[in-house]
Amino acid sequence: MNKKEAVKRIEFLREELKKHNHNYYVLSKPAISDFEYDIMMNDLVFLENKFPDLKDENSPSAKVGNDSSNEFVQVDHKYPMLSLGNTYSEEDLIDFDSRVKKILTGPFSYTCELKYDGASISLVYKNGKLTRAVTRGDGDKGDDVTANVRTIRTIPHTLTGSDYPAEFEIRGEIILPHDSFDKLNNDRISAGDFAFANPRNAASGTLKLQNPAEVAKRGLDCFLYYLLGENLPTNSHFENLIAARKWGLNVAPHPERVSTIEEAIGFTKKWNEKRYDLPFDIDGIVVKVDSLDQQRVLGFTSKSPRWAISYKFKAEQAVTDLLSIDYQVGRTGAITPVANLEPVLLAGTTVKRASLHNADQISLHDIRINDRVYVEKGGEIIPKVVGVDLNSRLPGSQPVVYISNCPECGTELIRKEGEAKHFCPNEDGCPPQIKGKIEHFVSRKAMNINCAEATIDLLYQKGLIKNIADLYDLKKEQIANLERFGEKSAQNLTESIQESKKAGFERVLFALGIRFVGETVAKTLAKKLKNIDLVINASLDQLREIEEIGDKIAESVTQHFSKPGNIEIVNRLKAAGVNFQADESNDILSDKLNGLTIVISGTFSRLSRDEIKELIVKHGGKNAGSISANTDYFLTGANIGPEKLKKAQKLGIKFLTEDEFIDMIG
């Protein structure tokens, strides 16, 4: 990369990192993973070191992320509240140890601690009383959130004993334990709100609420891990934590003091395996020089202490070559770029393709053909490309030029304001969109028609179906004459299509493929509006008044039925006998499960999972997706999910068999 290219890339990275700092610290809505963020930061540092005259003291590489908000009073930190340097490798821990040894002349030890995934906080105590709680902010000053922090039960307002300093500061992390997170998301979903993506976002967002009473309801917790002040009990960080615990402070659990970096690495390996047993999230380990005197000798950089380092746990990752990029068209017209990769082993499977998400992500990571790329699986089913190894980039490589026309039908792509993806607007003439809508319509949770993807493709290619209504015009003789079909298979398909006419209104509404109308929203609309004509004629305001229906969904529903083609489809389906009327006779069968929350897991012999979920609701209960302290029963079949099983056993949740459940509802 020449200097002109470096200037352009550095400016881009600085702007992107500033934006992602704002998303992470202020909005509590990170758009990328920590690993992706760190790769971008490393790219910026790499380029700034390669071209030193391009360095800038205001660059994100030289500053701490800022979580300050204009809605809170700003307070100066007595001691700068810096961030830690990050690493993902044992080699970097060994390098850190070497740097420490070069500066310190005598023996030293390390304290190893769990790295909590939450929001940093600084608490000030004077004469044993909590006087102030401040967020990290920009490291020099942060938001005064004392009123919110006082609602957290594990943070004492008054200390116990009498041997604490007259004034001191203790820092920690405000987190949301798994139980509180599950309850919060279940409550939000029930109220029609979007669920939080993870406990870290939820904790940070909660801390910035303007209503302490609402904060108190959410079940925040706080672990404290660093004591500062003029007259601390000892010169040992580890011993000070023990003392603070005696004062009633909720000091972070599981710290260990070790003598060598090898022992510290052993600590990281132990907790990399055990972290899933914890009732809260950790994303790594922090290693600190234990002696406060030695910490002062080591000092600080502009944004990090030299006496501590953060080792982050890796998601499943691999490095391979990006060979080419394909562009896929979804049933909604959304364009997804997909990387074709040199096959590489990742998380036990060979990966040949990985998602690139959208044009912004390609630009964000400056992904180019023939780059060596980082591929990550993590908790995602489909691998994704999360970064580039700039050191191995080939000379003469060119940035990717994102397509401007649909790869299937040639229509010029559009990108709506606020949308991350490009879309093909030709929904009635673009083959993947047409077939995708039909595939969704026949799916098990929609109309449950026994029609495979290959069959839909064949029927479309032969000109027998061009939309979902065409399915009901199919004749057995037409199907039987197709390749791979015969009399029996044609009979089975036509019978399955006829049987689908009995599907409940909520399933039909879901099957129509209205954007943002999933199973839950379809059930809500069907329950409130009773028939398709009421849905079609509902105004924006009428839709917004329905609990769980927000602006986005209301606008999508009205927009869908404003198109004459979609109304024609509904009229044809009506004429074919498809059910567009809610059955009010059996909405509620009894109140035998009233107030009970039930989680199901496994496979069952007498009922399907969908039937069980429906029966829970019809008998007054609530079907939850995850185990929490609020779960009343864990309904289990064969092949139970191991994580749910472990959590249910740990919380002492009562187990139910399928037969016991059927007996319970009569």
User: Could you list the active site residues?
Assistant: 115
Which pair of structure tokens corresponds to residue 658? Answer: 């399928």
For residue 193, is it within any domain?
yes
Shared-domain flag, residues 18 and 43: yes
140 and 289 fall within a common domain: yes
The C-alpha atoms of residue 486 and residue 324 are separated, in whole angstroms, by: 41
The last residue of one of the domains, among 62, 88, 107, is 62
Cα angle 594, 600, 601 (rounded to 5 degrees) comes to 170
Contact 84, 305 (CB under 8 A): yes
Q: Are residues 399 and 491 in the same domain?
A: no
Residues 175 and 306 reside in one and the same domain:
yes
Q: Are residues 419 and 441 in the same domain?
A: no
Structural domain for 447, as ranges: 431-502
Please check whether residue 68 lies inside any domain of the structure.
Answer: no
143 within some domain: yes
Residue with tokens 């309904």: 635
CATH code, domain carrying 39: 1.10.287.610
CB atoms within 10 A of CB 181: 25
Same domain assignment for residues 209 and 296? yes
Kindly state whether residue 194 falls inside one of the protein's structural domains. yes
Tell me, yes or no, whether 296 and 324 share the same domain.
Answer: no
Report pLDDT for 380: 47
CA distances from 437 to 81, 175, 428, 429 (A): 52, 42, 10, 12
Q: How far apart are CA 534 and CA 564, in angstroms?
A: 17
Same domain, 358 and 489: no
Contacts of 57 (CB under 8 A, 6+ apart): none
Residue carrying structure tokens 């390749």: 483
My answer on whether 495 and 644 are in the same domain is no
Phi, psi of 521 (to 5 degrees): -65, -40
Same-domain status, 413 and 498: no
Q: What is the pLDDT of residue 557?
A: 95
Report how many domains make up the chain. Answer: 6
- Whether 343 and 469 map to the same domain: the answer is no
Residue 581 within a domain: no
Q: Please check whether residue 352 lies inside any domain of the structure.
A: yes
CATH code for the domain in which residue 655 is found: 3.40.50.10190
CA atoms within 13 A on the CB side of 538: 27
Pairing verdict, β 256-258 and 654-656: unpaired
Rounded to whole angstroms, the Cα distance separating 512 from 506 reads: 10
Residue 607 lies inside a defined structural domain of this protein: yes
d(CA 244, CA 6): 49
Residue ending a domain, among 502, 526, 548, is: 502
Q: Can you give the three-state secondary structure of 20-46, one letter per residue?
A: HHHHHHHCCCCCCCHHHHHHHHHHHHH
- Using the structure block, give the residue that is written with the tokens 């600590």: 267
Please give the structure tokens belonging to residue 197: 């993506």
The two tokens of residue 8 are 């352009």
- Residue 569: the pLDDT is 96
Residue where a domain stops, chosen among 423, 439, 455: 423
Say whether both 139 and 273 belong to one domain.
yes
The CATH number covering residue 527 comes to: 1.10.150.20
Closest-CA residue to 6 (of 46, 61, 40): 46
- Give a yes or no: residue 583 inside a domain: no
Q: pLDDT at position 626, please?
A: 80
622-624 and 597-601 strand pairing: parallel
Task: Count CB neighbours of 654 within 10 A.
Answer: 11
Residues with pLDDT less than 70, the chain:
22, 24-35, 62-71, 189-195, 197, 302, 315-316, 347-348, 378-381, 547, 584-587
